[in-house]
Amino acid sequence: MLDKNLLEILVCPVTKGPLIYDKARSELISCSGRLAYPVRDDIPVMLEEEARPLTAEEAEAYRKGGVAEAG
């Protein structure tokens, strides 16, 4: 489980925008950057080259809160 204080200060390294934690997929989601950063062994991997690109549909679903489980 990621520390809540850490989640509050982390931002997307590409866009500097907020991130959404998807516990089920163990990813930090940047809707603005349309990227999903992996979380491995409770450690966020905040490297653009490690991020999974999101489709426009996935990003929109996260924006609407339909896919992500925050915090």
Q: Is residue 70 a part of any domain in this protein?
A: no
Q: Which structural domain, as residue segments, surrounds residue 32?
A: 4-64
* Residue 42 neighbours by CB under 8 Å, 6+ apart: 1, 2
Angstrom distance (rounded) from CA 50 to CA 67: 21
Q: What is the pTM of this model?
A: 0.87
Q: Tally the domains of the chain.
A: 1
Residue 34 covered by a domain: yes
* CATH number, domain containing residue 49: 2.20.25.10
Has residue 68 got a pLDDT over 50?
Answer: no
Whether 69 maps to a domain, the answer reads no
Residue 32 in any domain: the answer is yes
Residue ranges of E strands in the chain = 20-22, 27-30, 35-40, 43-44, 52-53
Tell me if 20 is assigned to some domain. yes
pLDDT tens per residue across span 25-47: 999 999 999 999 999 999 999 99
